[in-house]
């Protein structure tokens, strides 16, 4: 009989960290690629389907012996213990498993982040140009692209802007959709304070993660608003506990060059950078709903109390469809267009700043379409609470060979 001590042995009951995965095809063969969205583990790992079956059971509840029995039942062949033990060792080496190695690496990375003078750009040279002059040209090209906004003046020209919803999808593909939102900001009466709230794709232990680091980009340094962040830290110290997650997340980083290009020519500005990770379904739990409302109400009180005009930028995506995101079949043209209709119906509640109807719409669907931008968009609705929104542009990106699809939109609020 397995003892309680053995049950706690991570070598016998391994636990896979919160990784992301995607199916890939090489010729006639299918594989699964694993990677760590938090950036703690740097490498990607490609596994054959039978090995992916094994790691799916690394949940701390199944012993290696039990996994071997499940493997025999599924594939009709005996799983050699040495092979699975080697797989555990390889995953642990890559920091893909919970345990002492991953914890030590996390502590080291957190300490390095907190000692650094700035939050360094993590995606420059990969998702956008790393050279400042080239980046300016790249952003300009998003505006002038055939998919970008035209030069017709905005109907809101000169009006105080209160909020934006923007994508977080790769800039090289979705850049023109970002430009639709930032053109409205370009022509608006611009505040000098921006609350930039993004999806934490790697997940959080808490609901919100704030950092007080200034952000470096190829266009210079974006200053965080220290007086507001000091008040926020005094009121919600736990929200700064996971500040290190900002280093690997892209949602906020992708907005900053647009803000620099759009606002800094007119006036200096500061940001309040917030990452969040909660779903509409979680808000059906009273404790989670209360915690979210407490933080957002407190932040809103601080913002109003500072006496300055501010704009909330909600950076997040909408639906996630296909095998990569847990569906049993790839999306078809019909299923995509049906999802698009649902997205636009859902966004009508966002245009009306109706946060309750926005929650109810997704809860009624049981979040089957995985609206990953729910948390930042909901936060925007709770922070501005008045005015009117408008969908400016809607599009999608294809994320793998199986037509897995992400949808996103740009919106502006006045």
In order along its 414 residues, the chain shows pLDDT tens digits of: 444 444 578 889 999 999 999 999 888 889 999 999 999 999 999 999 999 999 999 999 999 999 999 999 999 999 998 899 999 999 999 999 999 999 999 999 999 999 999 999 999 999 999 999 999 999 999 999 999 998 788 999 999 999 999 999 999 999 999 999 999 999 999 999 999 999 999 999 999 999 999 999 999 999 999 999 999 999 999 999 999 999 999 999 999 999 999 996 668 999 999 999 999 999 999 999 999 999 999 999 999 999 999 999 999 999 999 999 999 999 999 999 999 999 999 999 999 999 999 999 999 999 999 999 999 999 999 999 899 999 999 999 999 999 999 999 999 999
3-state secondary structure (DSSP) of residue 266: coil
- What's the fold here for domain 4-106? Outer Surface Protein A; domain 3 (3.90.930)
DSSP 28: T
- HSE of 389 in the Cβ direction (CA atoms, 13 Å)? 32
Phi, psi of 38 (to 5 degrees): -80, -15
- In the chain, where are the structural domains located? 4-106, 121-413
**DSSP per residue over 275-306, as a string?**
EE---TTGGGSHHHHHHHHHHHHHHHHHHHHT
Say if residues 154 and 184 touch (Cβ distance below 8 Å): yes
Prediction pTM value: 0.92
Say if residues 255 and 313 touch (Cβ distance below 8 Å): yes
Rounded distance between C-alpha atoms, residue 130 and residue 171, angstroms = 13
Angle at 193 between CA 147 and CA 120, to 5 degrees: 75
Query: Are domains 4-106 and 121-413 of this chain identical in fold?
Result: no
Rounded distance between C-alpha atoms, residue 268 and residue 375, angstroms = 28
Residue with tokens 């919100």: 208
Rounded distance between C-alpha atoms, residue 134 and residue 136, angstroms = 5
CATH of domain 121-413: 3.40.830.10
Phi, psi of 253 (to 5 degrees): -55, -40
Runs of H (alpha helix) within 61-189: 64-75, 81-93, 100-115, 132-144, 171-187
The CA-atom distances, in angstroms, between 23 and each of 35, 203, 260, 293, 330 are 12, 21, 37, 38, 11
Rounded distance between C-alpha atoms, residue 169 and residue 141, angstroms = 17
Q: Structure tokens of 406?
A: 């992400």
| Residues forming a β-bridge with 196 | 273, 313
As a whole number of Å, the end-to-end CA separation of the chain is 66
Say if residues 46 and 31 touch (Cβ distance below 8 Å): yes
| Residues forming a β-bridge with 24 | 31
């Amino acid at each position: 009989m397995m003892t309680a001590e053995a049950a706690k042995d991570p070598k016998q009951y391994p636990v896979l960290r919160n990784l992301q995965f995607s199916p890939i095809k090489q010729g006639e063969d299918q594989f699964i690629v694993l990677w760590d969205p938090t950036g703690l583990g740097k490498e990607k790992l490609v596994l054959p389907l039978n090995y992916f079956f094994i790691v799916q059971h690394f949940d701390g509840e199944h012993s290696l012996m039990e996994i071997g029995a499940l493997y025999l039942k599924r594939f009709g062949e005996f799983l050699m213990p040495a092979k699975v033990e080697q797989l555990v060792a390889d995953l642990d080496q890559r920091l893909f498993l919970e345990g002492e190695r991953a914890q030590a690496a996390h502590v080291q990375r957190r300490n390095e982040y907190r000692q650094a003078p700035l939050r360094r750009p993590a995606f420059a040279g990969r998702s956008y140009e790393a050279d400042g002059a080239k980046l300016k040209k790249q952003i300009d090209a998003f505006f002038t692209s055939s998919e970008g906004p035209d030069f017709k003046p905005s109907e809101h020209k000169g009006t105080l802007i209160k909020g934006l919803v923007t994508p977080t999808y790769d800039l090289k593909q979705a850049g023109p959709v970002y430009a639709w939102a930032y053109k409205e900001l370009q022509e608006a009466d611009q505040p000098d304070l921006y609350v930039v709230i993004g999806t934490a794709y790697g997940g959080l232990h808490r609901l919100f993660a704030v950092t007080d680091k200034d952000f470096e980009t190829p266009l210079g340094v974006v200053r965080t608003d220290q007086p507001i962040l000091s008040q926020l830290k005094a009121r919600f110290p736990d929200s700064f506990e996971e500040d290190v997650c900002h280093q690997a997340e892209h949602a906020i980083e992708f907005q900053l060059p647009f803000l620099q290009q759009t606002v800094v020519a007119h006036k200096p500005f500061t940001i309040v950078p917030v990452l969040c990770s909660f779903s509409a379904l979680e808000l059906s739990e009273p404790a989670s709903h209360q915690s979210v409302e407490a933080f957002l109400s407190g932040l809103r009180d601080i913002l109003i109390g500072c006496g300055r005009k501010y704009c909330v930028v909600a950076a997040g995506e909408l639906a996630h469809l296909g095998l990569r995101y847990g569906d049993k079949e790839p999306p078809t043209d019909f299923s995509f267009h049906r999802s698009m209709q649902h997205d636009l119906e859902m966004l009508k509640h966002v245009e009306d700043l109706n946060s309750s109807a926005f929650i109810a719409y997704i809860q009624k669907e049981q979040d089957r379409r995985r609206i990953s931008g729910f948390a930042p968009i909901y936060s925007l609705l709770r922070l501005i609470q008045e005015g009117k929104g408008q969908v400016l542009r809607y599009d999608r990106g294809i994320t793998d060979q199986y037509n897995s699809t992400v949808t996103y939109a740009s919106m502006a609020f006045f």
